[in-house]
Amino acid sequence: MNESQDPRTLSALLRRGVMSRRAFLLRSSAMMAAGAAMTLPGMARAQTEPVQGGVLRIGLQNASQNDNLDPGTWSTSWIGTSFNGGTYNNLVEILPDGSVAGDLAESWEPEPGAAIWRFKIRQGIKFHDGRDLALEDIRQSFLHHMGEGSTSGARAIVEQISQIDLEGTDTVVFTLKTGNADFPFLLSDYHLSIYPSLEGGGIDMSGVGTGAFVLDSFEPGIATRLLRNPNYHKPGLPHVDEVEMISIPDATARLNALLTGEVDVIDDLDTRNVPMIEASADFQVLRVPSLRHFSFDMDTNVAPFDNRDVRMALKYAIDRDDIIEKVFLGEGKKGNDNPVSTIQTFYHAMPQREYSIEKAKEHLAKAGLEAVTVDLSVAENAFPGAIEAAVLFKEHAAPAGITINVIQEAADGYWENVWLKKPFAGVDWFGRATVDWLFSTIYTSDAPWNTGWSNARFDELHAQARAETDVAKRTAAYAEMQEIIHNEGNIITVAFVDWRYGVSNAVGHAEVGGLMPNDNMRMCERWWMNA
């Protein structure tokens, strides 16, 4: 291989601006194809049996310089995977098959009506600094998210709790305001990591947890380094000795890092780069079915989005098929202004809302408008392809008299400075394991991540469905709630997509969970290095 063919040389040319991204991708693709042709038969692919040792390097896209160790502030998969899935544990975890299993809790039992839950805690667990895990640590970890004025991402969960009691040395009792059969699932939320408590109340946010890895270094928005916890309570885990989490917001830079061996795994593999990875004998594309969906969300407290007909006009003015074909290259399932996935329990099927300039104009006329102009904020990391999708949306909407000014925001700080602050923005929603959890996190009037929409009937149905034990009645309530979001809501659902990773064949893994990103944020402890 001459110097001009060396991937590291191409990388340097790209960084210095000498080579365009298109040229880099074309040249790299040719090299990958050639490499595949020269691969010898019998070269090792990913092993099925876990191997102990090595360093796992992960390149993820959505870190922020505002990231910190306060679990109530966490909002990205990068920090959730680093800390919730690396340094800390919850009472429970979601397994790859979607079931809930004990983590720090070994068992749990509800009283009739599911308003009182007893969790029995594993004994002998220690924090990284040698402190024993105590029941008060668990209580204080929940209290951190509770109370008037809480802005925690877990607020919708902990607001259901009226009291936390400690029984003996091994049992935590949660008393809920109303019954909730889904309560154990909710405790897997990545904000609800268990921290050491402080004397007098509160939690120690110095980075000491009970998790599979000890925090060695943390540079917000840049990188995290984790070292194996030799005293971890799960037999055989973790597999690797060290994890390096590296922030790489740009999709091309992430691909480059994978191809040149700087990282072993990347998330959000761009669909345009899939053929390149699939042509290689050294890497593979990993697709994991998910609840993830991309949307453009409107704040209904701000004009003109406070007008239902303007919202409906925008919903009809987007050609989802065109975006899925051109931006996602066919890798996506068309959205229908409903955040509930077709693979989710209580999904309610409705007629597909199709692109219609005529209907968009009709709704504008009902709003008393012939034309309207709106600003749409997006960034490289709002969701993969968000900028390109917004530009196509602008083109789709123009014939209806809708002018969309696409505002390209800075990727760094997007989730702190744009999301929930700008009135019309691209959003990457991970979904939640249950419909109740999804709705209470985003769509009820008091949801912590409510993007500016409120509906009294929706709130009423939500309260009824949570306490309802009759499956038919619960199904009917959730169906009506989805109809309300579809027809009254503020979400323009573009597409549902799989989690898509680029993975070196040096990496091994078992079944991969998809209810949350990065193997339900447990990639660090579950994956291994084959070589």
Q: Indicate the SS3 state at residue 245.
A: strand
If asked whether residues 409 and 318 sit together in one domain, one would say yes
If asked whether residues 245 and 235 sit together in one domain, one would say yes
End position of a domain, from candidates 153, 186, 219: 186
If asked whether residues 513 and 490 sit together in one domain, one would say no
Average pLDDT over residues 488-514: 96
pLDDT in tens, 178-205: 999 899 999 999 999 999 999 999 999 9
If asked whether residues 381 and 280 sit together in one domain, one would say no
Please choose, from the candidates 210, 393, 424, the residue with its C-alpha nearest in 3D space to the C-alpha of residue 311: 424
CB 379 within 8 A of CB 387: yes
Domain assignment of residue 197, yes or no: no
Instruction: Inform me whether the pLDDT recorded for 526 exceeds 80.
Output: yes
CA distance 192 to 186: 9
Pairing of strands 223-228, 100-102: unpaired
Instruction: Give the domain extent around 265.
Output: 55-66+211-288+498-529
Domain assignment of residue 22, yes or no: no
CA distance 354 to 455: 24
Query: Residue for token digits 């544990």?
Result: 89
pTM value is: 0.79
If asked whether residues 372 and 453 sit together in one domain, one would say yes
Domain assignment of residue 447, yes or no: yes
Give the pLDDT band of residue 17 (cuts 50, 70, 90): very low
pLDDT in tens, 57-104: 999 988 888 899 999 999 889 999 999 999 999 999 999 998 999 999
Pairing of strands 55-60, 265-266: parallel
If asked whether residues 418 and 488 sit together in one domain, one would say yes
For the domain that residue 442 is a member of, what is the CATH number? 3.10.105.10
pLDDT in tens, 226-235: 999 999 999 9
Domain assignment of residue 3, yes or no: no
If asked whether residues 266 and 319 sit together in one domain, one would say no
If asked whether residues 215 and 116 sit together in one domain, one would say no
If asked whether residues 273 and 349 sit together in one domain, one would say no
Domain assignment of residue 74, yes or no: no
pLDDT of residue 15: 37
For the domain that residue 177 is a member of, what is the CATH number? 3.90.76.10
Domain assignment of residue 45, yes or no: no
pLDDT of residue 407: 99
Domain assignment of residue 39, yes or no: no
Say how many domains are in the chain: 3
For the domain that residue 510 is a member of, what is the CATH number? 3.40.190.10
C-beta atoms surrounding 284 within 10 Å: 16
